Amino acid sequence: MVDDLYQETILDHSKHPRNCHVLGGANHHAEGYNPLCGDKLKLYLKMKDNVVEDASFVGSGCAISTASASLMTESLKGLKREEALKLLERFHDLLTTDSPVTKELGKLVVFCGVRDYPARVKCATLAWHTLKSALENKEEPVTTE
Amino acid sequence: MSTLTTDIAAGFDVARIREDFPVLKQTIHGKPLVYLDNAATAQKPHAVIDAIVKFLSVDCANIHRGVHELSQRSTAAYEETRTKMKRFLNARSKNELIFVRGTTEGINLVASSWGHKNVREGDEIVVSAMEHHSNIVPWQMLCEAAGAKLRVIPIDDRGELIVEEYARLLNPRTKMVAVTHVSNALGTINPIKEIVAMAHRVGALALVDGAQAAPHLKVDVQALDADFYALSGHKMVGPTGIGILYGKSKLLNAMPPYQGGGDMIKTVTFEKTTYADLPYKFEAGTPNIAGGIGLGAAADYLTHIGLDQIAAYEHELLLYGTQALEQIPGLRMIGTAREKAAVLSFVIDGIHPHDIGTVLDRMGIAVRTGHHCAQPVMDRFGVPATTRASLAFYNTTREIDALVAGLHKVKEVFS
């Protein structure tokens, strides 16, 4: 019934989020906020020589936004800044267009069901909005609105 | 648990009433629609839809203008709503009823027109901790502009106003007390008569946000002695974009216009404009005529069913729903006031309201999830959001059973 949205991997990451802690030694961080549902997220990045060495998050949110943050932090490790931004673009296309699923997305393809639930797209993109802000080291919390 | 106890509720022919609402006869994702988002907006009966269709297809013309037949018909139909709403609210005169877009505009009208004329530096405006943003932000804006102070009546763990704390807030600097009649997020019914009387004792005025009360209980603005009472048509089975601001005529007469334009003037020259008398002084521009006519039909419809009957039936639904939901392990009700409208706002341990809402939607069940435009209420109860099932007189105990079954499914998915 809702299996297309809540795929096994999403449920797993929402119940047991990975990288869900404050990151010591982080040199980039940002806050994200979805004013529609009150979800809040803090993202931490440890960047070295333009590469994401480590990533983590803390926050409270729905299953979709928690799983998205969890899977995002996993996917980011080892990526160059430009590659991370490219992945963000691909992820955004996955949720909002009918574009074919590309293999760069890896595990993130589990979010393909979200495109059929327009009200939930912002849940899935909150972490990624925050990523953009963290890479730019913005002071102001970014919102999904 | 499928029978209702009181005579009124038992004699309430909900099956026949449901026939009046075409929207209810559909399936959503293959399941019968269970519409439990009535505090956001209520569904519309044929009587309202037909009145709007008749106006648009037979009587459509601008009002207060032409001498031609259609203009006279549309003016008569639109103004008839003012008379109907005067009876609906038991106002002294129909001139005390101003057409507005909705409750939000009604409150903004008072905050802007009355507020800027009467509120000065050091004055105080009192609101409550359970207000909708629309009864907070206009007052905050006024306070900021005037250098006045916004003070907040706290609520207890049941979601009831703490009247003793309210008494302590009142003082000669208090100029306005703005409180909701029924809380949209908690369902609490406030003791408005007492709140208004206490405001009056210190020389303050009282504005009541009636958006959630008008569809569910009989409102008598004279008995409440409210100075202003604002409501929205769409919450009371009427259309969106139309509402009523009631105000005592002596107050409205002393207030400057809210917006300038056509229809609110007596004479206009470049040197000076004189304004129209009540209620037109506050009604600049061509209004939502079709909406106004629909609102009249909605008031007739609710009056025909009977607000007392509606309140009694909905109260039974509330008791049934409360008991049924409380059986669900890990569910916590937010808002357990002793005087309560049929709002079931709750959280479930470890499951976010948005996920609950999405799973319920796939079962055809429409609920609201989020902060309900009442973020301070969420902060008070320490939750980011709740799931809210808000009931109307066309809902049934079977629909509550469907909600309970849906919540068991939710728990299965996320356990």
Q: Which of B370, B413, B414 sits opposite A37 (nearest CB)?
A: B370
pTM of the model: 0.93
pLDDT, one tens digit per residue, over A28-42 is: 999 999 877 778 899
Domain boundaries, chain A: 8-135
Range in A65-79, A89-103, B222-236, B241-255 with the lowest mean pLDDT? A89-103
Spatial distance between the Cα atoms of B191 and B198, rounded to a whole number of angstroms = 11
Contact yes or no for B378 and A38 at CB 8 A: yes
Asked if A95 reaches chain B (Cβ–Cβ under 8 Å), the answer is: no
Q: How close B359 comes to chain A (CA, Å)?
A: 7
Q: What is the pLDDT of residue B256?
A: 96
User: What is the DSSP track for A96-135?
Assistant: HS-PPPPGGGGGGGGGGGGGG-GGGHHHHHHHHHHHHHHH
Strands, sheet with A142-143, edge to edge from the N-terminal-most edge strand: A51-60, A39-48, A28-34, A142-143
Q: What is the DSSP secondary structure assignment for residue A141, as one 8-state letter?
A: P
What percent of chain A is modeled with pLDDT above 90?
75
Give A103's pLDDT tier (boundaries 50, 70, 90): confident
User: What is the DSSP track for A21-57?
Assistant: S--TT--EEEEEEETTTTEEEEEEEEEETTEEEEEEE
From chain B, the residues in CB contact with A38 under 8 A are 370-371, 375, 378, 384-385
Spatial distance between the Cα atoms of B265 and B267, rounded to a whole number of angstroms = 6
3-state secondary structure of B347: strand
Q: Of chain B residues 329-368, which have a CB less than 8 A from chain A?
A: 351-355, 358-359, 362-363
Beta bridge partners of B188: B340
Residue B374, judged by CB atoms within 10 A of its CB (0-12, 13-18, 19+), counts as: buried
Contact yes or no for B358 and A1 at CB 8 A: no
Q: How many CB atoms lie within 10 A of CB B230?
A: 31
Side-chain half-sphere exposure of B245, counting CA atoms within 13 A: 29
Strands B97-100 and B124-128, bridge-based pairing: unpaired
Tokens at B402, concatenated: 């469907």
Are residues A34 and A144 in contact, defined by beta-carbon separation less than 8 angstroms? yes
Query: Can you tell me the ipTM of this complex?
Result: 0.89
H-helix or E-strand spanning residue B331: strand B331-333
Query: pLDDT tens digits for chain B (415 residues)?
Result: 445 556 666 679 999 999 999 999 999 999 999 999 999 999 999 999 999 999 999 999 999 988 899 999 999 999 999 999 999 999 999 999 999 999 999 999 999 999 999 999 999 999 999 999 999 999 999 999 999 999 999 999 999 999 999 999 999 999 999 999 999 999 999 999 999 999 999 999 999 999 999 999 999 999 999 999 999 999 999 999 999 999 999 999 999 999 999 889 999 999 999 999 999 999 999 999 999 999 999 999 999 999 999 999 999 999 999 999 999 999 999 999 999 999 999 999 999 999 999 999 999 999 999 988 999 999 999 998 999 999 999 999 999 999 999 999 999 999 8
Decide if B373 is catalytic.
yes
Asked if A39 reaches chain B (Cβ–Cβ under 8 Å), the answer is: yes
Enter the CATH code of domain A8-135. Answer: 3.90.1010.10
Spatial distance between the Cα atoms of B205 and B247, rounded to a whole number of angstroms = 11
Spatial distance between the Cα atoms of B26 and B34, rounded to a whole number of angstroms = 9
Tokens at A48, concatenated: 């070295």
Side-chain half-sphere exposure of B76, counting CA atoms within 13 A: 8
Average pLDDT, chain A: 91
* Ordered structural domains, chain B, with CATH: 7-32+306-414 (3.90.1150.10), 49-304 (3.40.640.10)
Residue of B191, B207, B245, B184 lying closest to B126 (CA atoms): B207
Answer positive or negative: Cα dihedral of B149, B152, B153, B154.
negative
Answer positive or negative: Cα dihedral of A136, A139, A140, A144.
positive
Among the listed residues B49, B373, B383, B404, the single catalytic one is B373
Q: What is the pLDDT of residue A37?
A: 72
Q: What is the pLDDT of residue A3?
A: 84
Asked if A8 reaches chain B (Cβ–Cβ under 8 Å), the answer is: no
Q: What is the pLDDT of residue B1?
A: 42
Q: What is the pLDDT of residue B2?
A: 46
Q: What is the pLDDT of residue A139?
A: 61
The amino acid at residue B278 is L
Residue in chain B closest to A40 (alpha carbons) equals: B384
Q: How close B318 comes to chain A (CA, Å)?
A: 26
Q: How close B372 comes to chain A (CA, Å)?
A: 9
Q: What is the pLDDT of residue A100?
A: 80
From chain B, the residues in CB contact with A59 under 8 A are none
